[in-house]
């Protein structure tokens, strides 16, 4: 199978061979591209390189070093995406991120999982499930999002959370495993909008 056929097969949710030479080569290419992203001090150049690496992106992505991904082409981000330092995305499955999403430092997005049986795992057995993150979400520092999760729009995931199941829109959630703490309401407005800070 070529890489596109391999990705199409992986998207079915069936186990696949993570040690396939086609995937190893694709990972090596992504590593070279992320090395280039992480080597430059020019934010505009990082944005350009990131746009070339991922499957699709909206306008004005900001990606701080160190950024790492498995393949890149299975990542789709909306406009005004911001990734703080040390973000990792394992994109064996599709990662879809909406508009105006903020990632704190050390966020990890993991679509892939090794198989549980030790013999299958040692032979390279993996499975991938897509991850979807809605628009205007904020994932705080050290958040890990596990395979198959959907996070609804406008949601905040608190620092150090491990997201193992779907989280609805318009809530604050945190913990390990991540749980909804409360909805975001009008009481969360501080009056910041409309203030003159000059």
Residues known to be catalytic: 114
Report CA 103 to chain centroid distance, whole Å.
Answer: 9
Relative to beta strand 67-69, strand 171-175 is unpaired
Name residue 163's beta-bridge partners.
Answer: 145
CB 67 within 8 A of CB 45: no
**For the residues of 53-118, what is the DSSP string, one character each?**
HSSEE-S--EEPSPEEES-STTEEE-TT-EE-TTEEEE-SS-EEE-TT-EE-TT-EEE-EEE-SSH
Neighbour tally for 184: CB within 10 Å: 14
């Amino acid at each position: 199978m070529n890489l596109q056929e391999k990705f199409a097969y992986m998207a079915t949710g069936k186990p696949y061979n993570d040690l396939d030479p086609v995937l190893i080569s694709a990972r090596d290419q992504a590593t070279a591209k992320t090395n280039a992203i992480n080597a430059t001090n020019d934010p505009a150049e990082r944005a350009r390189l990131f746009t070339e690496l991922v499957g699709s992106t909206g306008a004005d992505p900001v990606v701080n070093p160190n950024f790492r991904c498995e393949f890149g082409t299975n990542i789709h981000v909306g406009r005004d995406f911001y990734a703080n330092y040390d973000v990792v995305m394992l994109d064996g499955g599709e990662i879809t991120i909406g508009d105006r999403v903020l990632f704190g430092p050390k966020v990890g997005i993991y679509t892939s999982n090794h198989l549980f049986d030790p013999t299958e795992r040692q032979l390279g057995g993996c499975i991938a499930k897509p991850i979807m993150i809605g628009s205007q979400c904020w994932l705080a520092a050290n958040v890990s999002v596990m395979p198959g999760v959907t996070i609804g729009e406008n949601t905040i995931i608190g620092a150090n959370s491990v997201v193992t199941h779907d989280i609805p829109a318009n809530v604050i959630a945190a913990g390990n495993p991540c749980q909804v703490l409360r909805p975001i309401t009008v009481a969360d407005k501080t009056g910041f909008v409309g203030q003159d800070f000059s």
